[in-house]
Amino acid sequence: MIRMSIGYRIFNVWNIVFLVSLSIICILPLVHVLALSFSNSSAAGAGLVKLWPVGFTTNSYEFILKKPAFLNSLVVTLERVFLGTFINMMITLLVAYPLSKETQTFRFRTLYAWLFVFTILFSGGLIPWYMTVKWTGIMDTIWALVLPGAVPVFNIILLLNFFRGLPKELEESSSIDGASHWTTLWRIYAPLSMPALATIGLFTIVGHWNAWFDGLILMKSHDNYPLSTYLQTILVSIDLTKVSGESMKDLSEVSDRTAKSAQIFLGALPILLVYPFLQKYFVKGIVLGSVKE
């Protein structure tokens, strides 16, 4: 049995204390938001809520969930996440694979790679981007939320570097067996790249779920707002002259802080549910392309 030195033990204890403290610091704000969302409006307004609900109530969630606009925006967001993630992942795979080849195999590989990198360094700006979306005729549709960001260049570069780290003998053996590039990609590269794909997929899902600005300027109808855009505007856009008596009663029982806390938690909940299933891949894929064999 290897005997640890005193310095190593001190470092190990300090490392554990530091990581546990950092974890608590990250978790406490979420716990506070959750406690606020289940507290009554008076306790939240008086600043009495810390890490446990005061005057437990579900009024904030009832106020949000019973609105048809919330459920409609949730459907739009789910459609965007599934459709957008599928398109992003497919394009990432299909672009990263050829760009991972050597110049001898793909003659203009470097030129194409730099063209993609150029789009990261320089962009046309907000107005040309908006005019392009408008002129293509996809305004106020789900495609306006998906197609403008269909080519995730940063993810392509990450996956490209991951592919370049895979042993070249795998592709050579498959080529000798008569496999095409399509077969090599889907039967060899894709299964071996699950950590990388899971990490990129997590980034893509979070990006689509949290995006709100594009929905705000590209959607003319509030019925087409994604969830993040709806939650961003739900309290700001309330017109008290058009609020019914029942809704006024709801507003009297729900404060701005409790309602926003409920929105934040509902917006983060799906990601919190998805992350544990991708965590084992995420830990491996977080160093994409940093180590090459």
| For residues 90-102, average pLDDT | 91
Determine whether domain 68-233 maps to CATH 3.40.50.720.
no
The percentage of residues in the chain with a pLDDT greater than 70, rounded to a whole number, is 85
The pLDDT score that the predictor gives to residue 241 is: 40
Q: Please indicate whether residue 293 or residue 65 has the higher confidence score (pLDDT).
A: 65
Q: Which pLDDT band holds residue 293 (cuts at 50, 70, 90)?
A: very low
Which of 215, 186, 188 is closest to 73 using CA atoms? 215
CB contact burial 222-241 (16+ within 10 A = b; e otherwise):
eebbbbbbbbbebeeeeeee
Q: Which pLDDT band holds residue 30 (cuts at 50, 70, 90)?
A: confident
Structure tokens at 131: 């005019």
pLDDT of residue 156 exceeding 80, the answer is: yes
Which of 257, 268, 269 is closest to 40 using CA atoms? 257
The pLDDT score that the predictor gives to residue 291 is: 46
For the chain, give every domain's residue range: 68-233
Q: Please indicate whether residue 292 or residue 142 has the higher confidence score (pLDDT).
A: 142
The pLDDT score that the predictor gives to residue 229 is: 87
pLDDT tens-digit map of 118-153 = 888 888 888 889 999 999 999 999 999 999 989 999
Residues 182 and 191: their CA atoms lie apart, in Å, by 13
Structure tokens at 129: 């981007």
Structure tokens at 267: 């917006």
How deeply is 152 buried, as exposed, middle or buried, from its count of CB atoms within 10 A (0-12, 13-18, 19+)? buried
Within 8 A by CB and 6+ apart from 263, the residues are: 64, 231, 234
Cβ–Cβ < 8 Å for 148, 84: no
The pLDDT score that the predictor gives to residue 250 is: 54
- The model's pTM is 0.76
pLDDT of residue 175 exceeding 90, the answer is: no
pLDDT of residue 85 exceeding 50, the answer is: yes
pLDDT of residue 39 exceeding 60, the answer is: yes
Structure tokens at 22: 């950092």
pLDDT of residue 169 exceeding 90, the answer is: no
Which of 149, 133, 124, 135 is closest to 218 using CA atoms? 133
The pLDDT score that the predictor gives to residue 236 is: 59
pLDDT of residue 194 exceeding 50, the answer is: yes
Q: What is the mean pLDDT of the chain?
A: 82
| For residues 177-200, average pLDDT | 86
The pLDDT score that the predictor gives to residue 40 is: 83
Cβ–Cβ < 8 Å for 162, 289: yes
The pLDDT score that the predictor gives to residue 82 is: 94
pLDDT tens-digit map of 249-288 = 555 556 667 777 887 787 778 777 877 776 666 665 555 5
Instruction: List, as one string, the DSSP characters of 192-209.
Output: HTHHHHHHHHHHHHHHHH
